[in-house]
Amino acid sequence: MKRNLAFIIVLILVFPVVTGQKFNNLTPTPPMGWNSWNTFQSKINEQLVRDIADIFERDGYKNAGYNYIIIDDCWSLHERDKDGNLVADPAKFPEGMKALADYVHSKGLKLGIYSDAGTQTCAGYPGSKGYEMQDARLFASWGIDYLKYDWCNSQGLNTIDSYTKIRDALYAAGRPIVLCICEWGNTQPWLWGKEIGQLWRISGDITPCFDCIVDHGSYKDWGIMKIVDLRNDIRKYAGPNGWNDYDMMEVGNGMTVTEDRTHFSIWCMLSTSLIMGNDLRSASPATNEILTNKNAVAINQDPLGVQAFKYKDIDSTEVWVKPLKNDEWAICFLNRKNKSVTLNFNWSDNFIKDPDFSYSVDFKNEKFKILNIWTGKKTGTTRKPLKAVIPVHDVVMLRLSK
């Protein structure tokens, strides 16, 4: 009897029984980092990842809060090895993923990687279907901290079942790994994602244009404002440790500086992950200034974790409002017109009530100090109307404090 009991204990220790669990408190605020796909796609290698880690330190991204460096699709060989393991392409990653993770960790940063719930990834490399536990253990042994888990070549699979399998495998492997659910919003992951992963994509892939759709026939790429417009009434499902993911950012990838600033502003307001997608090695000073603006990042990382809502339209100027901790507020006035607009906003005429949560503000009876996020200047209080000229596709973004 004692020998049987000892054997059962060994089984439990070696093969833990895991049901319905994910690692908790990995993302109390939205993840921040960089992903290789938007700029490099298949043209990735370990030197690029090392360079990005060095630039995180050198150019202020780490100090601004970015800490994940995520390798997207095309990192592996096209076949598993004889034991069924994924193999990092030795031409791209000659020292292997463990050594690369060690280097990234030595910088005080974290390493992410990519896989797919189907038989193959979107680029045709081996997927994790049927290998969930094996892949999770491999990623854990390498020191991976973040997994972007895609949904290509998944015919006949159920999203909740597939993402639950990888969640349970990651938990059983024992290393806390953030799970990014990337099924493009097709099965409303905001309704079920929080029990499974730390963030979930709400759309197809982003593209670097302000307000367009690029139709490829079998799929579409979405411009910045098209993604913002795509989903209504999902903010109530997001919050600490479970975030609506509006996709990787296109700041620095060909839009105007004002459009980049607007893109970053609205991503901060929406409490989505701030995952950079540009080539940081050649980023302009203007791009770096946008991505490392600590006042804007603080709005995204506010511990209250409430996503902004669109309060009203004033002609083609949208007014976005985000409750913050300590009864503070973020307000973003966004000009969608193809010409400049003149804003005259009388605070005292506005009583703002959050449509999903119990936050409200009556500017007639409450006074706030105003910080302009992008100029860094304090600009009076809400006792006086706000007057500003907003250039094409630009924003006025403010933090209000008592």
Closest CA to 373 of 340, 307, 337, 328: 328
Closest CA to 190 of 154, 242, 227: 242
**Among the listed residues 297, 277, 282, the one whose alpha carbon sits nearest the alpha carbon of residue 397:** 297
Answer left, alpha or beta for residue 153, where phi above 0 means left and psi between -120 and 50 means alpha. Answer: left
Quick check: 149 and 115 in contact, CB under 8 A?
A: yes
CA atoms within 13 A on the CB side of 272: 25
- Catalytic member of 205, 247, 260, 354: 205
Q: Which helix (H) or strand (E) holds 312?
A: strand 309-314
Cα angle value 86/90/93 (rounded, 5°):
95
- For the question of residue 150 being annotated catalytic, the response is yes
Tell me how far apart the alpha carbons of residues 153 and 149 are, in angstroms, rounded to a whole number. Answer: 12
Place of tokens 């950012």: 249
Tell me 233's DSSP state.
S
What long-range pairs does 365-372 form, CB within 8 A, spacing at least 24? Answer: 366/402, 367/402, 368/328, 368/329, 368/400, 368/401, 368/402, 369/400, 369/401, 369/402, 370/398, 370/399, 370/400, 371/295, 371/398, 371/399, 371/400, 371/401, 372/396, 372/397, 372/398
Least Cα distance to 69 among 48, 96, 39 occurs for 48
| Torsional sign, CA 226, 277, 261, 382 | positive
Write out the two tokens for 240: 């600490």
- Active-site option among 150, 260, 279, 394: 150
Query: Whole-angstrom Cα distance, residue 126 to residue 120?
Result: 5
∠ CA 280-282-284 to the nearest 5 degrees?
95
Which residues are known catalytic residues?
A: 150, 205
